[in-house]
Amino acid sequence: MRDAITGLIGRYDQLGRYLDRAAIDRIDTYYGQAAVRLAAVELINREAAAIVREASQLLWLEDPELILPGGNAYTTRRLAACLRDMDYFLRYASYALLADDVKILDERVLNGLDDTYKSLGVPTGPTVRSIALMAEVICDKLAEEGISDTAVVRAPFDHLCRGLAATNVRAR
């Protein structure tokens, strides 16, 4: 996995160029957002189970059919798989957040996931919503800690949502 800085330096190295003003500004932005990214990752590490639990409860309130007979989260096994996947998305979003590089999500999560979900008949709509809800939970918790500018925190979650929404798989 790479971070925003190593990726940037790598591109300039391949071109055989010194860092220009745009590169320096990108590095300055990366370090300027470091405190927010670190606070969010620390929160995720400390409260991952609670974040998944709260986001899933919000999802079930919005779409209770998911946990009723015939729903994709009905039965203990399917519910556990949904919660496991939410935790998986949360963990990888924290990596991308810390690195400030969503390419991690393409390489480690999104590439091939649509095929897996299609073969299993997993609807991506509720999955996308659960990811968005986790971002909301995290941003709410950060706001309670006095951090209000959370656009950088939402970026990896938004990237996951866009990537999964593109597949638009429906339940069988």
pLDDT at residue 171 tops 70: no
Structural tokens at position 102: 């969503």
Beta strands per DSSP E along the chain: none
pLDDT in tens, 124-145: 999 999 999 999 999 999 999 9
At residue 107, what is the residue type? E
Distance CA 162, CA 37 (A): 21
Structure tokens at 170: 């429906």
pLDDT at 169 over 60: no
* pLDDT at residue 167, rounded to an integer: 67
| Domain ranges (residues) in the chain | 1-32, 34-165
DSSP label at residue 5 = H
The pLDDT value recorded for residue 172 is: 41
| Per-residue pLDDT tens digits for 2-56 | 899 999 999 999 999 999 999 999 999 999 999 999 999 999 999 999 999 999 9
Largest CA distance in the chain: 61
Q: Give the CATH number of domain 34-165.
A: 1.10.490.20
DSSP annotation of 122 reads -
